[in-house]
A and B are shown apart, each in its own frame.
Chain A
Amino acid sequence: MHMADALLSPTVGGAFWAATGATTAYAARRLRKDINEKLVPLMGVLGAFVFAAQMINFTIPGTGSSGHIGGGMLLAILLGPHAAFLVIASVLTVQSLFFADGGLLALGSNIWNLGFYPAYIVYPLIYRSIVRDNPTARRVAIGAILSVVVALQLGAFSVVLQTRLSGISELPFRSFLLLMLPVHLVIGLAEGVITAGVVNYLRSIQPELLSSRPSSGRSLRKVIIAVSVMAVITGGLLSWFASVNPDGLEWSIQRIYGEPEIQSKENPVTEKLQAIQEKTAILPDYSLPSEGSEETDSGEAWPNPDPGTSISGLVGGFMVLLVVVIFGLGLRRLSGNGNRE
């Protein structure tokens, strides 16, 4: 469920980076305040544990295919929200760098989707209010399964929203949602069962590990206030998107209601290029869509309405690629010689 750079617009990617950055700073500050130095190595190895646990696969009953766990909710249960958020963020950072999962711009969104919801929404609101300070096997099981399912649904919803707001993919909001939510419901149930099993296993052999979290002193009311604040911030963020990226949001809304697409804004670069194109008037041999349709549709269906631009661009682009490759080979030669020397 990793969001990818290629599907994001800079605005959406940047906004989620800002939200994630702020949450990271907040989590770090909270951790520094209730200083518990023991947490430093524990958080570190638990981050590594998430990767290690992914090495262990299992056969999904009845299917023969194998699955593994994501672990966000497990971390929240073990570490409490602030430490868990940082650990999830570190796991995703390493994944984005080494596994190329998603990319760097999408990292902010991915941390938000897979870290913020389990740590700051689901853990306090669902898990804690079900399990409270009395972790019986049943409460843990119900709490864990429900939490994982909700956290994954929120994450999946968030992916759809980010994709839609970015406006790069043509996938309609509703279809995409219908695609993502059921899939993640199944994944969530499986991971929920596993999380519940693991937490209960831990509880049975080392119960003190689960009670050492620094969360017992906090009242539900405080949590609800905190969450409402977050909700307001999130809402604010969304309306901010709406103002900076109006076509993104409206577009998605229109898609939902099946209304025709609205007109995209003209791109200044494209305009320039069109001007150049007009001045130079080239590539007459390529056939273009009929003049008439271009006049009536111009700027309505696509932001880059000049097909001539695309064609000469493609030809030139091919040459550019060739030049780049030759450049690379040359450099390699040069630096290879340098190394040997």
Chain B
Amino acid sequence: MSHHIIEFRNVSFTYPDGTAALRDVSFRITHGEAVGIVGPNGAGKTTLIMLMNGLILPGGGEVMVGEVPVTRKTLSEIRRKVGVVMQNPDDQLFMPTVREDVAFGPSNMELPPEVIEQRVDEALREVGALHLKDRPPHRLSGGQKKAVAIAGVIAMKPDILVMDEPTAGLDPGARRQLIEIVKGFRHSRIIATHDLDLVLEVCERCILLHGGAIKRDGPPGEILLDAQLMQESGLALPLSATV
């Protein structure tokens, strides 16, 4: 199952305006791992995620998904394997109804209509949003939007699920539900987040980004509970560690 592996080899990225967002980043995530990516605002988390499915291409180094390097030529293959859930669900839910939105990915994979229909139902059931099927996205709550956005990615059956700030703006109930969804996903998961408790609960590995470089890579318990390291990195201890 080597295609569930994602690897960054000395990756750097600089935005057109000269902002160096990532510097010489290397790591390897293997099949089935759940990895949390943490770091203060502007650390480069979103940039890292955009590199994973080729929304931007590395300025230096290489991103590998399985045996395939992320290049202009391999984009459609890469995007089938790496499913990305965006930070803001409003940006991701662009189709007129929930059903059509979840069907967007499968339709682009040119699947037969019955299969698409089936995948839509499956994905919506998985995130507990089947009853929202005929709603237009602008008539959903924040948590419902998030759930549907995840369904839209799951429906493509990616090998690797990548999420940017999945719990931002969710109430405790919706957050709990989301955690269950993430736990239930069978393949590799990469979660960029400020929700350190989420990382503690769901992930077995944590990558701490700071100023565009990896500052630490290891078990969440060691990194997130290290008060001095957290303070240096502009982060605070997880809530569960303070009570």
Contact = CB atoms under 8 A, between A and B. Distances in A.
Instruction: Decide if A and B touch, CB cutoff 8 A.
Output: yes
Nearest to B91: A41
Contacts of A208: 16
Contacts of B16: 208
Contacts of A44: 94
A98 to B, nearest CB: 13
Contacts of B94: 41, 44
Interface in B1-36: 16
B101 to A, nearest CB: 14
A212 B232 CA distance: 42
A44 B90 CA distance: 14
A44 B93 CA distance: 13
Interface in B61-101: 94
Q: Could you tell me the dominant secondary structure of chain B's interface residues?
A: loop
Q: Could you tell me the dominant secondary structure of chain A's interface residues?
A: helix
Interface in B132-172: none
A44 B94 CA distance: 10
A313 B69 CA distance: 80
A41 B94 CA distance: 9
Nearest to B16: A208
A208 B94 CA distance: 25
A208 B16 CA distance: 10
A41 to B, nearest CB: 7
B88 to A, nearest CB: 13
Nearest to A41: B94
Interface in A180-224: 208
Nearest to B94: A41
A78 B140 CA distance: 32
Interface string A33-68: 000000001001000000000000000000000000
A208 B17 CA distance: 10
A263 to B, nearest CB: 53
Nearest to A40: B94
B139 to A, nearest CB: 16
A298 B94 CA distance: 62
A208 B15 CA distance: 13
Interface string B81-124: 00000000000001000000000000000000000000000000
A208 B18 CA distance: 14
A97 to B, nearest CB: 15
Interface string B50-61: 000000000000
A130 to B, nearest CB: 28
A44 B91 CA distance: 12
A321 B16 CA distance: 67
A276 B160 CA distance: 80
Contacts of A41: 94
A158 B94 CA distance: 36
Nearest to A208: B16
A44 B16 CA distance: 25
A41 B92 CA distance: 11
Interface in B195-243: none
Interface of B: 16, 94
Interface of A: 41, 44, 208
3 contacts: A41-B94, A44-B94, A208-B16
Identify the 3 closest CB pairs spanning chains A and B, nearest first. Answer: A41-B94, A208-B16, A44-B94
